[in-house]
Amino acid sequence: MGKSNFVALLWVSLVLLFLPLFYGGLAMGTGTLDGSEKWGYVEVRPKAHMFWWYYKSPYRTQDPNNPWPIILWLQGGPGASGVGIGNFEEVGPLDSFLKPRNSTWLRKADLLFVDNPVGTGYSYVEDEELLVKTDEEAATDLTTLLIAIFNKNETLQKSPLYIVAESYGGKYAVTLGLSALKAIEDQRLKLILGGIALGDSWISPEDFVESWGPLLKDVSRIDDNGLTESNSLVEKIKLQIANGKWTDATQTWSNLESLISDHSNGVDFYNFLLDSGMDLMSMEATEVVRATPRIKYIRYLDSLKSSPDENGDIGLLMNGAVRKKLGIIPNDVNSATGGQSSLVFGYLEGDFMRPRINEVDELLSKGVNVTIYNGQLDLICSTKGTEAWVKKLKWEGLKTFLSIDRTPLYCGDVSITKGFTKSYRNLHFYWILGAGHFVPVDQPCIALEMMVNFTRSLVSTK
């Protein structure tokens, strides 16, 4: 063997030896000096980069009998940023004015935010074709992210992970739950899955669209004419779903939203007591998908969009102070304009209307704790629709679950009912009063208490 061959061989072995370390090492990108925050990118597939941001709770305790929980927050959209909206608008330590949030979930858990799927927020792909087309593809990427973050940190591995989802995030949560369990079983992922929480989650699109007309008719927001027209579009959606015409069903869903909007004079889909545009949260959560070229998306928002205030505007914040702090966001990834987020929805339109009830069933039969919570005033993922899909579960405990009575909930003041709950075995349901789609925003006190209970296994089981 010549000398140059030997040197080449040496190089090859060195690269083979260290490449996996560098590759995995990319996960722990950077963070604050005191170690309380870490963030980085994981290349979940070649040229597909997912951004994550982890906050260690200042209240974290080390008690083997009472392990400190970690919450993975999954935003909806598809294409809405968890790092932006979930973090700064809902449960993170700072609000969108960068002021401390009193009701932050960091009080009681570590928080892990991700921009999921790739293409959302700070996450990006180098080639548009790498955007995900199904919930399962998103779940596979998220599993790769969890492997990169958890497998080399034994402290994190001792903490149970709770996946908490909002809206479309629920479809990722249940597919991720199954994918993560499989990876744990195959010893590819070192993690304890504590449970899954589905907040106002788009688990069964058919049941939600079917709920809209009757619900709005009952509260005087549409009339019989509106209801009749709505029902006929719902029938069309059901037929398209039955025939597996998923993309057509997404189109009809969009038409139904327009029709409801017209007949209700612009009801807010995220709180049916409001007019659209009144709930600031709903404006921000849907902003990213408004520009979607492939479908007409929620036209009613366009006309009402007021010019955003410089202060507290999440897009400006993410592209200004936050981007500067993080220091590793590539220049051409622009979270302020939603980045590639509008494309994300388009790529998922063939999966958007597909139900994930079977996945919930599978999780229940595997013994995973599933918590469902729903805001009373939500329209898009209404409680009526959620109750309808729950009744379709094949889970053996369902009959008993449905038969038992609810327990009222209070927060502080015992003269005001804040909600109701009931549990049977590993299924837990919370009805949250006075909240729309964004439960932690509208009812921060009870939302935090609920989170504490289900991450400490304090939910009552009968």
Ligand X SMILES: *[C@@H]1O[C@H](CO)[C@@H](O)[C@H](O)[C@H]1NC(C)=O
Q: In what helix (H) or strand (E) does residue 28 lie, and over which residues does it extend?
A: none
CA–CA distances in Å: residue 71 to residues 113, 211, 218: 8, 30, 37
Residue 195 or residue 385: which is nearer to ligand X going by CB?
Answer: 195
Residue 204 or residue 453: which is nearer to ligand X going by CB?
Answer: 453
Least distance in angstroms from the C-beta of 279 to ligand X? 21
CA pair distance 76, 424, nearest whole angstrom: 27
Residue 54 or residue 212: which is nearer to ligand X going by CB?
Answer: 54
Residue 194 or residue 205: which is nearer to ligand X going by CB?
Answer: 194
Least distance in angstroms from the C-beta of 32 to ligand X? 11
Least distance in angstroms from the C-beta of 103 to ligand X? 6
The whole-angstrom distance between residue 192's C-alpha and the CA centroid of its chain comes to 20
Residue 101 or residue 354: which is nearer to ligand X going by CB?
Answer: 101
Q: List active site positions.
A: 167, 378, 437
CA pair distance 211, 223, nearest whole angstrom: 15
Least distance in angstroms from the C-beta of 225 to ligand X? 41
Cross-strand partners of 427: 370, 424
Three-state SS at 167: strand
At residue 108, φ and ψ (nearest 5 deg) are -125, 0
The answer to whether residues 130 and 90 touch, using CB atoms and an 8 Å cutoff, is: no
Residue 77 or residue 444: which is nearer to ligand X going by CB?
Answer: 444
Residue 164 or residue 256: which is nearer to ligand X going by CB?
Answer: 164
Least distance in angstroms from the C-beta of 428 to ligand X? 7
Least distance in angstroms from the C-beta of 285 to ligand X? 24
Residue with tokens 């053996």: 396
The answer to whether residues 336 and 283 touch, using CB atoms and an 8 Å cutoff, is: no
Query: Which residues are at the interface with ligand X (CB under 6 A)?
Result: 28, 35, 56, 102, 153, 155-156, 194-195, 367, 369, 409, 421, 426, 446, 449-450, 453, 457-461
The answer to whether residues 241 and 216 touch, using CB atoms and an 8 Å cutoff, is: no
Residue 185 or residue 310: which is nearer to ligand X going by CB?
Answer: 185
Tell me, what amino acid is at 329? Answer: I
Q: In what helix (H) or strand (E) does residue 423 lie, and over which residues does it extend?
A: strand 419-424
Least distance in angstroms from the C-beta of 326 to ligand X? 18
Least distance in angstroms from the C-beta of 410 to ligand X? 7
Residue with tokens 């940023």: 81
CA–CA distances in Å: residue 377 to residues 262, 272, 438: 19, 6, 10
Tell me, what amino acid is at 420? Answer: F
The full DSSP string for 337-391 is: GTTTHHHHHHHHTTTTT---HHHHHHHHHTT--EEEEEETT-STT-HHHHHHHHT
Provide the H-helix boundaries in 264-320. Answer: 280-290, 299-304, 314-319
At residue 113, φ and ψ (nearest 5 deg) are -105, 145
The answer to whether residues 72 and 163 touch, using CB atoms and an 8 Å cutoff, is: yes
